[in-house]
Amino acid sequence: MRTPLSWLKDFAPFPDDAGLLRATLDDLGLVVEEIEVVGEGLSDVVIARIDEITAIEGADRVRRVVVEAGGGPLEIVCGATNFELGDLVPLAPVGAVLPGGFEIAKRKMRGVTSNGMLCSGRELGLGDDHAGLLILTHTAAAPGERLIDVLRLEPDVIFDVTVEGNRPDAWCISGIARDLAARLNLPFSFPSLSSMPLRGSETAERASLEVVDTQLSPRFSVAVVDGVEVGDSPSWVVERLEKAGMRSINNVVDASNYVMLELGQPNHPYDLAKVQGPGLRVRRAAPGESLTTLDGVERSLGVAGRSVGDTGTDVVICDAANEILGIAGILGGATSEIDASTTTILFEAATFDPITVTRTSRRLALRTEAAARFSKGTDPAVLEAAIDRFGQILALSAPSATMAPSPLFVPEAPPTPLEVVAPIDRINAILGTSFEVSEVAGLLGRIGFECAVDGDKLTVTVPTNRPDIRAGEPGVADLAEEVARTWGYSRLPRRTPTWSQPGRPGARQAERARLRRVLCGLGATEAWTSSLVAPDQARSVGFDEEEIVVANPLTEGESRLRRSLLPGLLDAAGRNLDRRADDVALFEIGATFVHPSSLPGRASRAGARGSGEVTMPAESERLSLVLARDGDDATSALAAFSAIADALRLSRVIVATQDEATSPALAGLHPSRSGVLVDKQTGAVVGVVGEIDPEVVTHVAPGARDRRLGWLDLDLDVLWDPGAVLRRPLEAAPISRYPSADLDLAFVVPDPISVESLLDAISEGAGDLLESVRLFDVYRGAGVDDGARSLAVRCRLVALDRTLDDAQLAEVRARMVGSAEALGCRLR
């Protein structure tokens, strides 16, 4: 909200120190986003009369002008052309410093000396017009007079204040002034002009008022003003409105806006002659009714929208014949507008249910100034003052206007203010302070909360302009905030609390950190791709299931939740390859989402419209790795997994043989170079490893299509489930102090027998003496039967208590070979 300091000064004698005021406003929670200084640096600018205009030879953009500015003819070079002989314009003489720090100096152009500068409105910081010089219409002004005297300009500061949603009381000049005065300990009072004279018959005889639903419009008032001449507002009113960011329309609309800005009460002047009855009727819109609003759009009313809890309740203002004039608290219709011929005004000031206004304005996408204010709640007790102030301001420009006595109010009296009982202990317990009861009463009193003190207990009367203060215990918290604000947050005590429970990272944080370390150690860099993806992205990598659709996406390309990390990571790898990055290896740890129709997630309390439960999408946290370095392929992905398995102490996770591989898990992967990772003991599927399907690569990352892209994807929810994936015991295994011996064995192994089962058979045969066994060569071809391959393994044998001799080694060898042969393998 744009807040001129000059306007604030109507309410309290504020100092001119803009820095102090800004800091104070900030500390009150009335955050100043920007400060604008106007009228500064204009004290040297004088009025000049154009006496002579001549062309300069050889110059077509500038002319020579001679002006009279009180000190005899002055020659000036000027580029503007919008003036004539005799016009009065502002002159910045040599030596003047304009707003923004520009100093005027004597200059010579094409042989003509320029003794100053004739200025546009923009150059003086007096508006946006820079098309030409500011031409003054104040004919009484004499050359040489100071511009600030003629325009009665006073330097002013405009604070652009952001008012929080719970402070509707501060969303007006008087509200900001009240808070500021309280903090600075300055006397606060409302300014007053002469009220408009009351004449003629009672308001009740001039217009009717019926409020059908007082829940939706808790207080409503109308006044009638006669003898109005629609015309211009006084210049200071125009100036204030403009500083506050509003345009001047005519004296009636200006007075209405002035009241809204000053008191925070939106209001509406109707042309009484155009209102049937005349009178107003406030009611709920019937379903299907409609109104063409001032913006020319036909609005359909009374029908519930999509938004949670919207019942389609709209409040409308009708005339006495029940025809809709406007949508209450949001926007009027065109039929009863003020125009040049208006002489009698029906002035409306009312309050409306904030939630109803919020819903209607949201559903109709009509976010007007009035709607924004009513959404946050307005003061039902300010209506009398609003009517009076409207009369005061309008009377300045319509001296013969009068108001009908006894404006109508429904209900007659404002609501009884809320009382909150606040024991001083509670306030101190919330704030950590040790205020005396009288201190609190004093702080609250300064911002209009009357406090009755009874021992340690305060009974606080909440002003009606503070709808944010609640009853009961929540109200005590609300009052504590007011105490803190008025005292100053920065002056409150600080204490560092302690408790006996130790801090600790969650189990997942520790595991994730371990995974990240392993992957970074393997040369992979972490990526962050969006969880929001394009339609059919999941399908393009093989997930043929229902997608999770965002009902209101930013763009179509971000309208689904990701099902897999593959497309995002592949795209990121492709872009890096396109930029000729070396050693592209990327990983990501993040959530993927499955539609409940495919995999029902947890049941969760729905809230709002659904008081029951709703089945949520399953959220699966995954780790994916794409390897796109020279030489990478499925084996590098497998090696990466092997490192992870070691770091996480996985007991026995193996690549399932191809025929065991379930196809859905391998969606998007190379069909003959990928496999499923399975816990050997529990059968749980941990993830997949292999290469990305070349077709998918061509489609998603064409720049990478000539490479094999290694791929690893782990389901972390499974990986971290101790029942699904077994870990090696934490106990240290003993290490032998005796020399070990290696035995290399090569077997012809029929294809159906897996490497794993051969290694298992050998281990079983060797018993305790086997330290390790690993595959080191695979051979197919000459010398080996069709349908079989030669597998060479290295067995390292050692005993804990002795050096194995040849006889013992031979015996172990025989047992290992025997065991392998029993499986169906033949020693080569």
Partner 1 sequence: MTGLDHEALSAIVTELTAAISTVDDLAGLDEVVARATAKDGPLGSLKRSLGGIADLESRKSAGRAINDALAQVTAAADARRVTLAAAARTEQLEADRLDLTEVVIEDVRVPVVRGHEHLVSQTRASLEEVFVAMGFTVTEGPEVETDWYNFEALNLPPGHPARDMYDTMYLEIGEPETVLMRTHTSPMQIHLLEAAVEADALPVHAAMAGRCYRLDTPDARHLPVFHQIEGLVIDRGITFADLAGVIETFTSAYFGPDIHSRLRPAYFPFTEPSAEFEITCTICRGDGCRTCSRTGWIELGGCGMVDPAVFEAVGIDPTEWSGFAFGFGIDRCAQMRHQIPDMRLLIENDLRFNRQF
Residue closer to partner 1 (CB basis): 416 or 490: 490
- List the interface residues with partner 1, window 736-765 (CB under 8 A): 754-756
Report if residue 20 touches partner 1, rule: CB under 8 A.
Answer: no
Whichever of 180 and 207 has its CB closer to partner 1, that residue is: 180
Cα torsion through 690, 694, 695, 697, rounded to 10: 90
- Regarding 596 and contact with partner 1 (CB under 8 A), the answer is yes
Q: Which of residues 602-631 bind partner 1 (CB under 8 A)?
A: 602, 604-610, 614-617, 619, 629, 631
Query: How many whole angstroms separate alpha carbon 506 and alpha carbon 577?
Result: 36
Burial-class residue 696 by CB neighbours within 10 Å (0-12, 13-18, 19+): buried
Closer by beta carbon to partner 1, 274 or else 629: 629
362 contributes a contact to partner 1 by CB under 8 A: yes
Residue 171 and residue 373 in contact, taking contact as beta carbons nearer than 8 Å: yes
Q: Is residue 93 classed as helix, strand or coil in its secondary structure?
A: strand
> With respect to partner 1, which residue has the nearer C-beta, 55 or 778?
778
Q: Please list every residue from 401 through 430 that binds partner 1, using CB under 8 A.
A: 429-430
Q: Give the rounded distance of the alpha carbon of 95 from its chain centre.
A: 48
Is 690 a binding residue for partner 1 by CB under 8 A? The answer is yes
Which has the closest alpha carbon to 346: 245, 240, 252, 229?
A: 252
Binding of partner 1 by 308 (CB under 8 A): yes
Question: Cβ closer to partner 1: 251 or 576?
Answer: 576
DSSP assignments along 311-338, one per residue: ----EEEEETT--EEEETTTEEBSTT--
Does residue 378 bind partner 1 (CB under 8 A)? no
Choice between 359 and 563, CB closer to partner 1: 359
- Compute CA distances 446 → 3, 14, 327, 433, 474, whole Å: 21, 16, 37, 19, 22
Least distance (Å) between residue 498 CB and partner 1: 7
Binding of residue 64 to partner 1 (CB under 8 A): no
Of these, 81, 292, 459, 658, which contacts partner 1 (CB under 8 A)? 658
Question: How far is 225 from 659, CA to CA, in rounded Å?
Answer: 91
Tokens 């099902």 sit at which residue? Answer: 563
Minimum CB distance to partner 1, residue 571 (Å): 9
Q: Which of 43, 250, 531, 763 binds partner 1 (CB under 8 A)?
A: 531
Q: Which is nearer to partner 1, 762 or 791 (CB)?
A: 791
Q: Which residue has the tokens 């079983």?
A: 764
**Min CB(430)–partner 1 separation in Å:** 6
* Binding residue (CB under 8 A) for partner 1 from 88, 177, 484, 770: 484
Residue with smaller CB distance to partner 1, 94 or 522: 522
Angle at 94 between CA 89 and CA 97, to 5 degrees: 85
Q: Is 729 in the site for partner 1 (CB under 8 A)?
A: no
Nearest distance, CB of residue 463 and partner 1, angstroms: 18
For residues 180 and 793, give the distance between their C-alpha atoms in angstroms, rounded to a whole number: 85
Q: Which stretch binds partner 1 (CB under 8 A): 63-71, 85-93, 592-600, 796-804?
A: 592-600
3-state secondary structure of 74: strand
DSSP state letters, 267-307 = EEEEEGGGSSTTEEEEEEPPTT-EEEBTTS-EEE-S---SS
**d(Cα 164, Cα 264) in Å, to the nearest integer?**
14
Per CB under 8 A, does 310 bind partner 1?
yes
Q: How far is the CB of 569 from partner 1 (least distance, A)?
A: 8
Segment 537-542 long-range contacts (CB within 8 Å, at least 24 positions apart): 537/562, 537/563, 537/567, 538/562, 538/563, 538/564, 540/567, 540/696, 540/699, 540/700, 541/566, 541/567, 541/667, 541/668, 541/696, 541/700, 542/664, 542/666, 542/667, 542/668
Site residues (CB under 8 A) for partner 1, limited to 428-457: 429-433
Q: How far is the CB of 606 from partner 1 (least distance, A)?
A: 5
**C-beta of 12 vs 606, nearer to partner 1:** 606
Query: What is the footprint of partner 1 within residues 138-167 (CB under 8 A)?
Result: 164-167
Instruction: Tell me how far apart the alpha carbons of residues 598 and 472 are, in angstroms, rounded to a whole number.
Output: 48
Closer residue to partner 1, CB minimum distance, 63 or 575:
575
Binding mask 492-521 for partner 1 (x = CB under 8 A): xxxxxxxx-xxxxxx-xx---x--x--xxx
Tokens matching residue 604: 């969760």
Task: Give residues 667-686 in contact with partner 1 (rule: CB under 8 A).
Answer: 670-675
Report the nearest approach of partner 1 to the CB of residue 525 (Å). Answer: 5
Q: Looking at beta carbons only, is 311 or 400 nearer to partner 1?
A: 311
Provide the minimum distance between the beta carbon of 410 and partner 1 in the complex, in angstroms, as a whole number.
25
Residue 278: asked if its preceding bond is cis (omega within 30°), the reply is: yes
Three-state helix/strand/coil letters over 12-63 = CCCCCCHHHHHHHHHHCCCEEEEEEEECCCCCCCEEEEEEEEEECCCCCCCE
The CB-of-324 to partner 1 minimum distance in angstroms stands at: 23
217 makes contact with partner 1 (CB under 8 A): no
Please give the residues from 266 up to 295 whose contact with partner 1 meets the rule CB under 8 A: none
In sequence order, what are the residues at sequence separation of 6 or more whose Cβ sits closer than 8 angstroms to the Cβ of residue 562? Answer: 529, 530, 531, 532, 533, 537, 538, 568, 592, 593
CB of 126 vs partner 1, minimal distance in Å? 25
For the CB of residue 726, give the shortest distance to partner 1 in the complex, in Å.
Answer: 20
DSSP strand pairing (788-797 vs 741-750): antiparallel
x/- letters, 766..805, toward partner 1 (CB under 8 A): --------xxxxx----------x-x--------------
SS3 77: strand
Q: Would you say 205 or 526 has its CB closer to partner 1?
A: 526
Residues in 569-588 at the binding interface with partner 1, rule: CB under 8 A: 572, 575-576, 579, 581, 583-587
Residues in 316-345 at the binding interface with partner 1, rule: CB under 8 A: none
- Cβ 589 to partner 1 shortest distance, Å: 8
Q: What is the 3-state secondary structure (H, E, C) of 786-820?
A: CCEEEEEEEEEECCCCCCCCHHHHHHHHHHHHHHH
Give the Cα separation of 197 and 404 in Å (integer): 9
Told to check if 36 binds partner 1 by CB under 8 A, we report: no
| Residues of this chain, 115-134, that bind partner 1 according to CB under 8 A | none
One residue of 100, 101, 296, 309 binding partner 1 per CB under 8 A:
309
By C-beta, is 49 or 708 nearer to partner 1? 708
Of the candidate residues 636, 665, 713, 718, the single one contacting partner 1 (CB under 8 A): 636
Which CA distances in Å does 382 have to 86, 413, 534? 50, 11, 52
H or E stretch covering 390: helix 383-397
- CB nearer partner 1, residue 268 or residue 670: 670
Tokens of 660: 């065991």
Q: Would you say 197 or 694 has its CB closer to partner 1?
A: 694
- Which residue number, 139 or 672, has a Cβ lying nearer to partner 1? 672
d(CA 262, CA 190): 10
Stretch that binds partner 1, among 75-83, 486-494, 739-747, 819-827 (CB under 8 A): 486-494
Contacts with partner 1: how many residues (CB under 8 A)? Answer: 143
Is the CB of residue 71 less than 8 Å from the CB of residue 92? no
- Which lies closer to partner 1 via its Cβ, residue 248 or residue 657? 657
Q: Which two tokens stand for residue 100?
A: 């923004």
654 touching partner 1, by CB under 8 A:
yes
Residues 549-568 that bind partner 1 (CB under 8 A): 549-554, 558, 561
The string of DSSP codes covering 569-627 is HHHHHHHHHHTT-SS-EEEEEEEEEE-TTTSEEEEEEEETTEEEEEEEEEEEEEEEEEE
Q: Is 489 in the site for partner 1 (CB under 8 A)?
A: yes
Residue 414 · residue 381 · CB < 8 Å: yes
